[in-house]
Structure 1
Amino acid sequence: MVEARVPALLPQGDFARVAPPGRSAYFFDVDGTLLNIRPRPEDVRADGALIALLKTLSAACGGALALVSGRAIDDVDRIFAPLVLPAAGLHGGEIRFPDGARTHASPGAVEAARPRLRAFAAARPGLRVEDKGAALALHYRQRPDLAADVLAFMESLVDRPELAVQPGKMVVELKRAGFSKATGAAALMAAAPFAGRLAAFVGDDLTDEAGFAFAEGLGGVSVRIAETDAPTVARFRIASPEDFRAELARAAALKDAPLR
């Protein structure tokens, strides 16, 4: 088990050295990692420069680049259209493999909780429900004073073994148990062209800690996008999505950079 520690700030240009495209399998979170978080999830959209960068980097790593998100894969596709990449959505609940094959999460497990969740949010102005189909998210960014109440309520919805709660940045989700960003990355890692490469997982949130542990367990690279050096399972830290995109641009230009 990987213990939380203070991550080392990765010097400028070092991402390409510790995780070179020619030898790495990349797993990137979306919100807070590649793109800044916005108050409304539906307002997030990648610009042309980021889409072009990911396309170039994917080619540089032989297609071993996946997006791993709490969002549904269809929503990830909306953000990065027209680019389509391998992906794990809904915290590993659904997966799109490089050959286009997909696994889908059933919405049945959260169906009974949906009306209760909407009623709870409607009675508390500022809370926002995000219905992902097979997962339900309750955002409290506009009501941080309700953080404890939101978590307690969401935990009360876990009335069967197949359900679990996933806290995140100003959000708590109800999802299928047994899935995580680690299980999503692991499923992709078992398939070509990811198999046999150095796993590099980059994220920013509590939901990404399992992914960091997954990469570290394989002897790979884990990077948290964060301004502070708060303890995390990740070994390295990059300060912001802007800095991370700059690192990716350098990595795309250094396809054959050796490991240090």
Structure 2
Amino acid sequence: MTTIQGDHIRRPHDLAEGGLAALAPPASSAYFLDVDGTLLDIKPHPGDVVADPALQELLMALQEKAGGAVALISGRTIQDIDRIFAPLRLPAAGTHGAMLRFDDGSTADAQSAPLQAVSGTVEAFVAAHPGLLFENKGAALTIHFRQRPELRPEVLALLSQCAIESDFVVLEGKMVAELKLVEFNKGTAIGTFMGLSPFSGRKPVFVGDDVTDEYGFDIVNKMDGLSIRVDRVEHPTKAHFRLVEPAALRAQLMTLLTAF
């Protein structure tokens, strides 16, 4: 399972009003934004999450100000990201970096035959426990247990046993756990984007809300970028700054746009 390790764990500073505009102006920055819990509040069911028109307009304006250097970084599939933000289609990383869509619309999608070989086992477990939700993302197998939080130990035990059998890793997030390919994460996705236009040569900014986003915070910090965790509770994190909720991030983005 994902754990936070290393010498750079810290208590993040609260990001002051207008702090994003002061630290990462759009002319020289590249913005990488998580979706659930970061841009949008988490809902009881993943399918209930939809971007409102105001958020879509905000992201379109940010993309224009930043010369196109805006990407969505999520554990969801790119198809689900597009559903949430339709008709807006930004560069995106889905399934924790295993799926990528670049600025020119081209895509890269890692698939795992060994992962699909254990999908039947995972799906059967979910079917036997009402209230759990299963997603097969191709490069990840996901179990949502928000409706059955008492089953967390059993979910993690099942996925951990599957991980032992091949080169997989178990990621635990907020009421969700995933079995995924070990070589991909949100940090690798950001690193790939930063080597390409229109992101290269800019200061990377990554905003996330969960332990699965720590990979992104880590690589952005190593690039002398800006890392921000959206979290009401001060969890141990590699992020340098903190915002308490998605509404606070939206306010920072709006201030950034009006300042330039």
Q: How high is the TM-score relative to the length of structure 2?
A: 0.94
SS in 2 for 1:253: helix
The CA deviation at 1:160 is 4.4
Verify: 1:191 aligned to 2:192, yes or no: no
1:74-153 equivalence runs, <5 A? 74-153=79-158
SS in 1 for 2:72: strand
Verify: 1:157 aligned to 2:162, yes or no: yes
Provide the C-alpha distance between the structure 1 equivalents of 2:181 and 2:78, rounded to a whole number of angstroms: 16
Gaps of 5+ in 1: 256-260
**Structure 1: which amino acid aligns with 2:100?**
I
Using the TM superposition, name which of 204-213 and 111-120 deviates more. Answer: 111-120
CA RMSD of aligned residues (A): 1.3
SS in 2 for 1:111: helix
**Structure 1: which amino acid aligns with 2:33?**
F
Corresponding residue for residue 38 of structure 1: 43
The question of whether the paired residues in 2 share the 8 Å contact of 1:5 and 1:232 is answered with: yes
Q: How high is the TM-score relative to the length of structure 1?
A: 0.94
Cα shift readout 1:34-60 (whole Å, capped 9, x = no counterpart)? 001111111111011000000000100
The question of whether the paired residues in 2 share the 8 Å contact of 1:223 and 1:238 is answered with: yes
The CA deviation at 1:13 is 1.4
Corresponding residue for residue 9 of structure 1: 14
The CA deviation at 1:164 is 1.8
SS in 1 for 2:97: coil
The question of whether the paired residues in 1 share the 8 Å contact of 2:141 and 2:179 is answered with: yes
The question of whether the paired residues in 2 share the 8 Å contact of 1:24 and 1:198 is answered with: yes
SS in 2 for 1:150: helix
The CA deviation at 1:108 is 2.2
Aligned residues: percent identity? 47
**Structure 1: which amino acid aligns with 2:192?**
A
Verify: 1:215 aligned to 2:220, yes or no: yes
Among candidates 192, 205, 220, match of residue 200 of structure 1: 205
The question of whether the paired residues in 1 share the 8 Å contact of 2:112 and 2:181 is answered with: no
**Structure 2: which amino acid aligns with 1:188?**
F
Aligned residues: 255
Provide the C-alpha distance between the structure 1 equivalents of 2:141 and 2:242, rounded to a whole number of angstroms: 29
Provide the C-alpha distance between the structure 2 equivalents of 1:88 and 1:71, rounded to a whole number of angstroms: 9
Provide the C-alpha distance between the structure 2 equivalents of 1:154 and 1:69, rounded to a whole number of angstroms: 20
Gaps of 5+ in 2: 1-5
Corresponding residue for residue 258 of structure 1: none
Task: Pick 1 or 2: higher relative contact order, CA cutoff 8 A, min separation 6.
Answer: 1
Provide the C-alpha distance between the structure 1 equivalents of 2:32 and 2:223, rounded to a whole number of angstroms: 13
Corresponding residue for residue 28 of structure 2: 23
Among candidates 72, 76, 82, match of residue 71 of structure 1: 76
